[in-house]
Amino acid sequence: MALRWPIVLFDFDGTVADTIEVIVTGYQHALRTVVGREWDETEVRGWIGTTLDESLGQAAPEQAERLIAEYHAWSRQNTDRLVRNYPGVPSLIWDLVAAGARCGIVTSRRRVSTDHILALLGLERLLPVLVADGDVERAKPDPEPVLAALEALGAEPEQAVFVGDTNFDLRAAQAAGVAAIGVTWGSGSVPSLAAHQPLALVPDADQLRHWLLPE
């Protein structure tokens, strides 16, 4: 198998791990419990890819601390039950590593929960480099998290590709000078992703494999 890029960086939520249900349900639980009502689901899905401080903090600034605490409490109780792998993604990552790729995660999720889910899905050893919420000053769409991952890998932007499911991912990659591929199985809409003109938009792991491991 031939690698198109020696460095492959992935977003986490909605790209590597199917966490969409647990995130959306957790947001709505926190909002319902603390504020007394739920938000429109389309709006809530649009928060995925940002930090909790940005999403819940902007939804109800005066109650942000309680909202985040309630979200974390609900997530701790329900993540193991609701999180799952996306079809074909684990085997693709295995094959990338076998072909010599160095892979990592760039996420707006906190490190402790990312590590937990990676272990739950059996992927922690395949994705040893992790840049998470709190590791850098500015989250995606700022390029800082992507550049931090490249620094950890000792790589240059032109050696890397970033794979993600939201416009925050694509914008961060492009601002860092890294090739960007959008996946449509996560939380981002096709029009939103297409508007940022990624190198490719792919609907499943087989199509992503075509780009990362061309025959």
By annotation, the residues acting in catalysis are 11
Phi and psi, residue 42, nearest 5°: -60, -40
Q: In whole angstroms, what is the distance from residue 92 CA to residue 176 CA?
A: 24
Q: In whole angstroms, what is the distance from residue 215 CA to residue 213 CA?
A: 6
Q: Which residue has the tokens 């039950």?
A: 81
Residue 161 host element (H or E): strand 160-164
Specify the long-range contacts of residues 200-206, CB closer than 8 Å, at least 24 apart: 204/87, 204/88, 205/86, 205/87, 205/88, 205/89, 205/91, 205/92, 206/88
Measured on CA atoms in the order 163, 168, 170, 172, is the torsion positive or negative?
A: negative
